[in-house]
Amino acid sequence: MADGEVRIGMLGSGFIGEFHTQGLRYIPGARVVTNWGAGTERRDAFASRFGSRAVDSIDAVCADPEVDLVVVSLPNHLHLEAVRSAAEHGKAVACTKPLGRNGDEAAEMLRLVTEAGVFHAYLENVVFNAEMIRMREMIESGAIGRLTTFRAREGHSGPHAAHFWDAELAGGGALLDMASHGAEAARAMFGKDVPIRDVFAWGDTLVHGGRTQLEDNAVMLIRFDDGRVATMDVSWSSKGGLESRFEAYGEAGRIVQDIISSPLRAFIEKPAGYLGEKVDADTGWVYPVPNETYAHGHDAMMADVVGAFRDGRRPQETFEDGLIVNRILDAAYRSIESGRWEPVEAAPVAISA
């Protein structure tokens, strides 16, 4: 890092990699200098669009002397390899959610960055959207009294990439993919210092059985030590575009938000191009999402990560948070099999770089 500039190596040239890169656009001195992703044409196109250099491997990005911060925007099965390479080369690293395919992978990633003494950040965008930040501020101010329950509903008609449907590559279905958002949102609302007692969950393959063995619908309940509960309801078979609703209920009120609600609506007979993530129809009544990177929280998330790295402080979300989320989801998968409430394995607390 020279003269305050943060030079970024981007791992991933697909959908989420583009979101993370676009999230850097308003951050002074943040610049993607090199990138890698699956497929030569795709990573070359990414480099041309964002003015970076395309290279031929994960290790080439992490070893690049120009790179200060590695951003991992890759499929789940590549997270551990990417973090290991970044740690070996002494590079700061930020990794998209879920941190690992399971808690053991996430714990290994936390161990690697802790032993290497490098900066680490967990890229969970939902807690950075403007509505979620305001919701947390209102709860902390006492506006709705003591928070009693929290609910998250997230759904769409199915993932956009083949690796999501592969049990070995992904590590889990709709629960891992989407309830990871709700779990961290719940921790943000109840307070990260509030212990979690156990988890109960149901999941099944109701619609996409011809394509995957992974659950395409699931419900998860997180019970805190004091008996309060957060509920995540997720689906890969919800038609009509992305659902992402969050509700907080307190003794003196409630707060409800929908981060994908659009102030725009249109009836169109001809397609207008990209309208928003997971949109199922491009004609008829449509709801284009303006400034989607901001609406999804990526702008604020990337600003926190880059700012924390530049200032030498701890980011809002670290690998420790990612590990806790993975341990919650591990308990949920055990609960699906056992039909019982399952305890959440304690996550080790590391000293963040």
Could you read off the pLDDT of 123-178 as tens digits, one per residue? 999 999 999 999 999 999 999 999 999 999 999 999 989 999 999 999 999 999 99
Q: Binning pLDDT at 50, 70 and 90, where does residue 291 land?
A: confident
Q: Check whether 1 has a pLDDT greater than 70.
A: no
pLDDT for residue 353: 42
Q: Check whether 273 has a pLDDT greater than 90.
A: no
Cis check: omega of the bond before 98, within 30 degrees of 0:
yes
User: CA-CA distance, 6 to 83, in Å (whole number)?
Assistant: 18
User: CA-CA distance, 250 to 247, in Å (whole number)?
Assistant: 10
Domains (range + CATH), the chain: 6-124+299-317 (3.40.50.720), 127-291 (3.30.360.10)
What number is the average pLDDT over the span 209-236?
Answer: 97
What number is the average pLDDT over the span 271-295?
Answer: 80
User: CA-CA distance, 252 to 142, in Å (whole number)?
Assistant: 9
pLDDT for residue 351: 42
When comparing pLDDT for 232 and 275, which is higher? 232
Nearest partner of 196 among 187, 205, 188, 206, judged by Cα: 187
Average pLDDT, the chain: 93
Q: Check whether 32 has a pLDDT greater than 90.
A: yes
H and E: helices and strands count for the chain: 11, 15
Q: Check whether 327 has a pLDDT greater than 80.
A: yes
What number is the average pLDDT over the span 49-65?
Answer: 97
Integer CA distances (angstroms), 304 to 122, 294, 308, 347, in order? 11, 13, 6, 24
Q: Check whether 348 has a pLDDT greater than 70.
A: no
* Beta-strand pair 69-72/196-204: unpaired
What number is the average pLDDT over the span 43-47?
Answer: 95
Fill in the amino acid letter for 279. Answer: V
Q: Check whether 349 has a pLDDT greater than 80.
A: no
Q: What percent of the chain has pLDDT over 90?
A: 82
User: CA-CA distance, 325 to 198, in Å (whole number)?
Assistant: 13
Two tokens, residue 285: 């009544």
Single pTM value for the model: 0.93
Two tokens, residue 283: 């004609």
Owner of token pair 């506006």: 143
CB burial readout 164-203, b (16+ within 10 A) else e:
bbbeeebbbbbbbbbbbbbbbbbbbbbeeeeebebbbbeb
User: CA-CA distance, 82 to 293, in Å (whole number)?
Assistant: 24
Q: Check whether 72 has a pLDDT greater than 70.
A: yes
Q: Check whether 63 has a pLDDT greater than 90.
A: yes
pLDDT for residue 352: 41
pLDDT for residue 261: 62
pLDDT for residue 288: 78
